[in-house]
Amino acid sequence: MSATQVMPPASPNSSEIPAKRTLTTKPRFSDKVFRGVVTGGGLSSLIILGLILGYLLYQGYSTLHSEGFKFITGSDWHAVIDDNGVFDPKNSHFGLAAMLIGTLVIATIAVCIGVPISVGAAIYLTFYAPNSIKKFMVALIDLMAAFPSILFGLWGFFVLESSGEYWARLLHKYLGFIPFFKMEVPYYSRSPFIAGLVLAIMIIPIVTSISREIFSQTPLDRIQAAYALGATRWAMIRAVAFPYARSGVIGGAMLGLGRAMGETVAVYTVLNIVYQVNWHVLISAGGNVASMILQKFGEASPAEVKALMAAGLILFIVTLIINSLADLIVARAGKSGR
Amino acid sequence: MSQTIVPANTTPKPAKPWAASSKDRIELALQFIAAIAISYLIVAVTAMKGKLAYVTIFFLAFIVIDFAVNYIRRGAPAAKDALFRGFVTGAVFVAVTPIVSILLTVVVRGYKGIHPNIFFKDMHSTTLNDAVTQGGLLHAVIGTVLMVAFAMAISVPIGILTAIYLTEIKGRFARPIKFLVQAMSGVPSIVAGLFILAAIVYPFTKNYNGIEGSLALAILMIPTVARTSEEVLLLIPGDLREAGVALGGTQWRTVMMVVVPAAKSGLITAMILGVARIAGETAPLVLLTGGGDTTNYNMFKGPMGSLPYYIWKGFNNGTDQSVTRAWAGIFVLLVMVLVLFGAARYLGNRKVGK
């Protein structure tokens, strides 16, 4: 090895050895800018959520202050305007309980119907479907995710209504002994049950595509190991796919729940919105917080708008709590699953 | 070399023990017939009537028969397998039926309201109850396109930056931000509308315009873009990042020239999902945009129409003409969404430059 081959061409005064390159973990200027920008972008969600909370609290404070706890537990909503056209705070009552219950009931129906269907469909598409069918179905379901919510509303009103009534009638006939399905007058249309059905269909694409993505990531070696041990497809799914995908599927279901709780227009279109506490899902009256806000907003006086802002605040907080709970469950399920 | 061991003329015919034999096919046909018979029987006896009843009972009966046959012939594990297969097949049919029904409904009801005028006229001199051939939804299309474009311009950069922060930088705030983005995806659309109302309309502008609707849409779009992008970026193998760094790239160059290009199709999908989430969003637009009937190109001034608002108005008006208008509006909105969706799929499926 001669030095002339390895060394770079000698510069005029290269008799001394070049200084050692300094190694550093300090980020360069470009990296600092990059990190700053990205962190700023990342923090924007914090800022936006904080602003939403702050502004809704600011606008709704007077109502929350005057109603106190009764805003959540009470179920009267009367904005009284006296003869002079002035808002009368003494006789006005704002209590959100009826609509909170309605929100819970409708979203629960939606999740109970929608999630099993979605997870089943996801499993079929991942583990059963032949490739050609799979491609087509996946495209179709992804497409459904792009359908606007008002389309579901109109479709629910004009098309699903009749089948919904049909199922409602059956539920009443055969399961009428369960208190939820009790009803006095046989008038089945525009009920929370039908609203729940529409929402169930609305959350199918999201839950399906998330579950499908998770199922398709099931490690192939474990699948083949299960088959090699003589498992049937169901045994393989139960032993390998379910534990692997559990957290992701729960995450998808929670996302569906969140969407079902906040849905406004589809519920407004399908449901006969009546301000009352209604546990009986087949009776043609009910509502959820979001659709109630939309319904009352049009002809609301400034004072009632403040109450609606407070209602929005409650809805916001409830959905935040649901999502946080979902996060916790997912985190825990993820640990046990792998 | 192994060819010499087995003489050619004794090569066994390839067997396919899993393929259905003719006996299996006959059995399947018998199962079908039995299930149909049972569905007729139950419909005749019980209160369940109509097409829905036939389909449901047929499906359930078929599963039960399949379960029984498999149990007798091949034992409990095979029977459970058959039961589960039946359930998931049913689930996929139930999931797809509404889509087909919705598409058919929109086409059948929507095309009555479609005529050439619809794209060149707005509603400023037409009422909802006039004949469907008068007026159009030019104002609504323009409003929707402008508002969605503006919302995209705000939320796509923010969403993708958030995702990059969560996956690439993983800084101190990564956990709380991940948590908040998750929480933000649960923000109901009406709350976003109320927020803009409380933060911008009442204190400052005091009137309705397009930009306010657009801001509300942006709030709804950010978490969708961020979450989907994050999922996509997480799927990029760490090897790629290490390779980028090993080649002497700074983090900024590694992310921009290795990670993001590798995730390009997924990021486009994220964007599309975001647009799909907001394109038909109605509630905030009802609260914020004022829903004008005149074509308005200025997002900062005056009420702005939009397709969802147009549909909303037509539906709530309730007359035959206005509901037909609403369906026509949905038809146009759906076609727009479909075109977008197709374009995105095409772009997303294209091979990324290596």
How high is the pLDDT of residue A94? 84
Of B92, B101, B194, the CB nearest to A124: B92
Shared domain for B227 and B333, answered yes or no, is yes
| CB–CB contact B177 A45 (8 Å) | yes
Secondary structure string (H, E, C) spanning B209-275: CHHHHHHHHHHHHHHHHHHHHHHHHHHCCHHHHHHHHHCCCCHHHHHHHHHHHHCHHHHHHHHHHHH
> Do residues A146 and B341 make contact, with C-beta atoms less than 8 angstroms apart?
yes
Q: How does pLDDT run across B49-96, given as a tens digit for each residue?
A: 677 778 888 888 888 888 888 898 888 888 999 899 999 999 998 898
Averages of pLDDT over each 10 residues, chain A, 338 residues: 49 70 81 89 90 92 83 80 73 83 90 94 92 88 84 91 82 78 74 91 87 85 92 91 84 82 88 82 82 85 86 89 73 51
Shared domain for B162 and B265, answered yes or no, is yes
With a CB-CB cutoff of 8 Å, which residues 23-42 of chain A face chain B? 27-28, 30-31, 33-35, 37-42
- Chain A closest-CA separation from residue B327 CA (Å): 9
Q: How does pLDDT run across B10-55, given as a tens digit for each residue?
A: 777 777 777 777 888 888 888 888 888 888 888 777 766 677 778 8
Shared domain for B101 and B250, answered yes or no, is no
| CB–CB contact B88 A124 (8 Å) | yes
Q: Which domain holds residue B98?
A: 21-111
pLDDT-above-70 percentage for chain B: 94
Shared domain for B41 and B106, answered yes or no, is yes
Shared domain for B219 and B301, answered yes or no, is yes
Residue B314 located in a structural domain: yes
Shared domain for B102 and B150, answered yes or no, is no
Cα B20 to Cα B29: distance, rounded to the nearest angstrom: 12
How high is the pLDDT of residue B8? 59
Residue B354 located in a structural domain: no
Domain count, chain B: 2
Tokens of A2: 């001669």
Shared domain for B290 and B340, answered yes or no, is yes
Q: Which of A51, A196, A215 is nearest to B88 (CA)?
A: A215
Tokens of A290: 């979001």
Whether this model's pTM surpasses 0.95: no
As beta bridge partners, residue A94 has A77
Render B109-128 in DSSP notation, one character per residue: HHGGG--GGGGT--STT--T
| CB–CB contact B98 A151 (8 Å) | no
With a CB-CB cutoff of 8 Å, which residues 217-276 of chain A face chain B? 232-235, 237, 255, 258-259, 261-265, 269
- Chain B closest-CA separation from residue A89 CA (Å): 21
Look at phi and psi of residue A81 and say left if phi exceeds 0, alpha if psi is from -120 to 50, else beta. Answer: beta
Residue B231 located in a structural domain: yes
Shared domain for B54 and B147, answered yes or no, is no
> Do residues A97 and A275 make contact, with C-beta atoms less than 8 angstroms apart?
no
Residue B71 located in a structural domain: yes
Which of B68, B93, B111 terminates a domain? The answer is B111
Shared domain for B51 and B164, answered yes or no, is no
| CB–CB contact B91 A37 (8 Å) | no
Residue B180 located in a structural domain: yes
Q: How does pLDDT run across B83-140, given as a tens digit for each residue?
A: 999 999 999 988 989 999 999 999 999 888 888 777 777 877 777 777 777 778 888 8
Domain harbouring B319, CATH code: 1.10.3720.10
Shared domain for B64 and B150, answered yes or no, is no
Cα B140 to Cα B324: distance, rounded to the nearest angstrom: 16
Q: Which of B240, B102, B100, B185 is nearest to A210 (CA)?
A: B185
As beta bridge partners, residue A93 has A78
Residue B326 located in a structural domain: yes
Cα A280 to Cα B171: distance, rounded to the nearest angstrom: 49
> Do residues B82 and B70 make contact, with C-beta atoms less than 8 angstroms apart?
yes
- Chain B closest-CA separation from residue A269 CA (Å): 9
| ipTM score over 0.85, yes or no | no
Q: Which of B221, B192, B219 is nearest to A290 (CA)?
A: B192
Give me the mean pLDDT over the B264-293 stretch. 84
In order of A109, A198, A211, A334, B316, the CA distances from A182 in angstroms are: 16, 21, 35, 40, 31
With a CB-CB cutoff of 8 Å, which residues 288-327 of chain B face chain A? 308, 311-312, 315, 326-327
Question: CB under 8 Å to B300, separation ≥6 — which residues?
Answer: B209, B210, B211
Residue B150 located in a structural domain: yes
- CA B275, B233, B245: angle at the middle one, nearest 5? 140
Of B185, B250, B276, the CB nearest to A146: B276
Shared domain for B169 and B218, answered yes or no, is yes
How high is the pLDDT of residue B1? 47
In order of A15, B194, B270, the CA distances from B180 in angstroms are: 60, 20, 18
Shared domain for B324 and B244, answered yes or no, is yes
Residue B65: Cβ within 10 Å count: 18
How high is the pLDDT of residue A125? 92
Residue B15 located in a structural domain: no
pLDDT at B352 over 50: no
pLDDT at B229 over 80: yes
- Chain A closest-CA separation from residue B342 CA (Å): 9
How high is the pLDDT of residue B275? 86
How high is the pLDDT of residue A247? 79
| CB–CB contact A151 B333 (8 Å) | yes
> Do residues B299 and B146 make contact, with C-beta atoms less than 8 angstroms apart?
yes
Locate tokens 């095409």: which residue?
B346
Helix boundaries (H) for chain A: 3-6, 29-67, 70-73, 97-123, 131-145, 149-155, 161-175, 192-216, 220-228, 233-236, 242-262, 265-270, 289-297, 302-337
Residue B175 banded pLDDT, cuts 50, 70, 90:
confident
In order of A23, A72, A77, the CA distances from A66 in angstroms are: 65, 12, 14
Q: What letter does residue B351 receive in the DSSP assignment?
A: P
Cα A311 to Cα A95: distance, rounded to the nearest angstrom: 9
Instruction: With residue B278 as reference, give the H or E element that holds it.
Output: helix B264-279
Q: Which of A200, A196, A193, A201 is nearest to A165 (CA)?
A: A193
Question: CB under 8 Å to B31, separation ≥6 — which residues?
Answer: B62, B65, B66, B69
pLDDT at B291 over 60: yes
How high is the pLDDT of residue B354? 34
If one compares B213 and B6, the residue with the highest pLDDT of the two is B213
> Do residues B141 and B307 make contact, with C-beta atoms less than 8 angstroms apart?
yes
